A = this chain, B = another copy of it.
Amino acid sequence: MTMNPDYNTRVDLFKESPTRKIDVIKEKLQQEGKDIILLSTGQPSIPPPRWAREKLAEELLEESMKLYAYTPTQGRKTVLEAIRRELEEHGLKLGEKQITLTAGGQSALFAAITVLFKQGDNVAVFDPMYFGYWPLLDYAGVNVIDIVEDIKQGFKPDLDKLEEIASENKLKAVILVTPDNPTGRIITREEAERLASLAEKHGFYIIVDEAYRTLVYEGEHHYIYKYAPDRVIALNAFSKDPGIPGWRLGFAYGPEWIIQRVKLVVQETVYCTPAIAQRLVEIYLTDRKRREEHIERVKQIYMSKRDAMISEIEKTLPKAEYVRPKGGMFLFLNLEEYLKPKSMTAEQLSLKLLEEKGVATVPGSYFSKHYKYALRLSFVSEKPERIREGIHRLAQLLEEI
């Protein structure tokens, strides 16, 4: 791509997002008129509630710059206050300077990693992990220490292992996604408490990615911040709830000295976060009752889709391993028993499945060095019958190979 080597070659660590490769093939097939079943995408399938969109549509017609002007980098006070109030109900006490808006979850990831990490820092991560972290950690030049989560243990984070690592190394931080992408695992209160006490004992930070925190189907989301407020930086997004992934709004909260620097990184990368997304989220968060009804409805729909996926897996893929997702949008399907004997990787399977059967998935290898024969399946985009059909075609393909 280049004839000129005189640039910051470290940016080449920022590779094209791996799901884009799948998107390109998918779009090509769609243009050829092929109907593709989408089990690949992490996007909600339900737009924000109509009442919130109606209000915003009205305001678009006002002859004023209010909806269009720059906002403070940290965000409009009303939005920050609505977030603060909601977190307070979950027992989190946060001062004014402990929350900042970000331009989506990605912007929160980038900013937190830019602020906290120096070249050579030891950072523990749980494998499998959302693939978006890898290029950022590479760019920061940190030393990543993987802790494999055992599918047979329900992808529980192995905190004994973490303690061992923290005892043997100067650990800067651990990264945890809960509810998890790609496994749908959530952490228990005991795990949250133990993580917090390990962080305090060994002096490391916890970067906790809570982008799916309102999409919990069984049990509840536990906020680690409560147990170690000086040690936890929490990253959040409005992409999944209220469902505006393309509008780029998220937030981060944690210790003031970190959050104020996260804000500076957001300032220098985007100046402020999208004002129109802030306004929609403000409308959405402020009408508490209708918001709860909306989330409840969305959760019911996603849960029934999840259950359709599970029942079809049970029926057609007896040798597959998976853990029933307690939250989020994904099921992580281990097909080792099918693929290993044939020496076929998940990448090869995913490609074949897309090209020959018209089903888009994401190879587990994008999330894991350990799980080489897994697929990440999204259960939110398609209707239940198409989810069943997608799993059915996967089973067919596994029989054919």
Asked whether A198 is an interface residue with its Cβ less than 8 Å from the other chain, the reply is no
List A residues at the B interface (Cβ < 8 Å).
1-4, 6-8, 11-12, 14-17, 20, 23, 43-48, 50, 53-54, 56-58, 60-61, 63-65, 67-73, 103-107, 110, 114-118, 132, 135-136, 139, 172, 243-248, 256-258, 260-261, 264-265, 267-277
A64→B60 CA distance, assembly (Å): 19
Contact status B60-A267, CB under 8 Å: no
On whether the beta carbons of A272 and B248 are closer than 8 Å, the reply is yes
Q: Knowing A53-B61, A246-B71, A275-B247 are in contact, say whether A270-B103 is a contact too (CB < 8 A).
A: yes
- CB–CB B110/A269 < 8 A: yes
Given contacts A7-B117, A17-B73, 5 further A-B contacts (CB under 8 A): A1-B256, A7-B118, A57-B60, A106-B268, A139-B268
Chain B residues within an 8 Å CB radius of A110: 268-270
Cβ contacts under 8 Å, A114 to chain B? 8, 11
Instruction: Provide the bound-state CA to CA distance between A247 and B246, in Å.
Output: 12
Nearest-CB residue, chain B, relative to A65: B47
**CB–CB A106/B271 < 8 A:** yes
Which residues does chain B contribute within 8 Å of A50, judged by CB atoms?
Answer: 61, 63
- Which residues of chain B come closer than 8 Å to A271, judged between CB atoms? 17, 104-107, 132, 248
A255 nearest in chain B by CB position: B4
Q: How far is the CA of A275 from the CA of B15 in the complex (A)?
A: 22
If A110-B269, A248-B272 touch, whether A8 touches B72 (CB-CB below 8 Å) is: no
Minimum C-beta distance from A242 to chain B (A)? 9
Question: Considering the chains assembled together, what is the distance between the CA atoms of A243 and B132 in angstroms?
Answer: 32
Please determine whether A264 and B15 come into contact, CB atoms closer than 8 angstroms: yes
Contact B274 A3 (CB under 8 A): no
Partner among B11, B48, B53, B117 whose Cβ is within 8 Å of the Cβ of A261: B11
- Residues of chain B within 8 A (CB-CB) of A248 are 103, 248, 270-274
